[in-house]
Amino acid sequence: MRKSKAKETIIQTAQELIEKKGYSKLNINEVAYVADVSVGTLYYHFPKGKVDILTEIMSRKTESYVEKFNKQLLKENIFEKSENLDETLHLIFKKVIEFRRPDRQFLVGIQNEMFSNPEEYLELLERYGMTAGIHQGMGVLSEVLMKTSKKRGKTLSNLRNKQSLILRLVGLLISYQIIFPGYFGNDEEFIEVATDIFLHILNSSSSQGK
């Protein structure tokens, strides 16, 4: 089996096993056996084992998600629906949850790695920006904010200054809403709270800049 083909087979096998059993029950020996490769071959492609495999899967999923997310927003003419920031945030958060909910088992895996090895998780986060897809919504939000900037003053620059904090906080909350359905209430209740948090950070930075 060629190396490139072996890598693809390992990824596909691990993804199917995670979807079936969950990340916590993923066993490297089983992945190698089902993929029909040696354990040595698996570690050749993924030196850190499970976490490297999960990282690769999430990186690919995020890339695919970006394309689908942008197409969906374009299809629904989000800019034509509203130029109101609150309503736009609501629509974007709703779409992020809808698009990422099928990836629940993989988000659980990311959280497992976060708590078992915080330092390595931060490095992984830095490399792949895994914040439940919120990054992909920021470009859309920037466009909306530019359209509403005359009404909201320095909102756009405030968003850029606080972007990292907003992404991490709201992205983490969205992950938990997907991992623990109903923990923050239903999706509509959660989105209302997430929108309030986003706007509070934005307005807070606006007040400080005066």
pLDDT per position as a tens digit, 70-85: 777 766 666 565 567 7
* Amino acid code (one letter) for 177: Q
pTM reported for the whole predicted model: 0.77
180-203 residues labelled b (16+ CB within 10 A) or e (exposed): eeeebeebeebbeebbeebeebbe
pLDDT at residue 16, as a whole number: 96
Return the CATH fold of 1-47: Arc Repressor Mutant, subunit A (1.10.10)
Task: Label residue 25 by pLDDT band (50, 70, 90).
Answer: very high
Q: How far apart are CA 199 and CA 176, in angstroms?
A: 20
Mean pLDDT of the chain: 79
For residue 170, give the nearest of 81, 94, 99, 85 by alpha carbon. 94
Q: How far apart are CA 14 and CA 54, in angstroms?
A: 8
Q: Which range, 2-16, 124-138, 155-169, is most confident?
A: 2-16
Task: Label residue 7 by pLDDT band (50, 70, 90).
Answer: very high
Is 60 exceeded by the pLDDT of residue 166? yes
Would you list the domain boundaries of the chain?
Answer: 1-47, 50-208
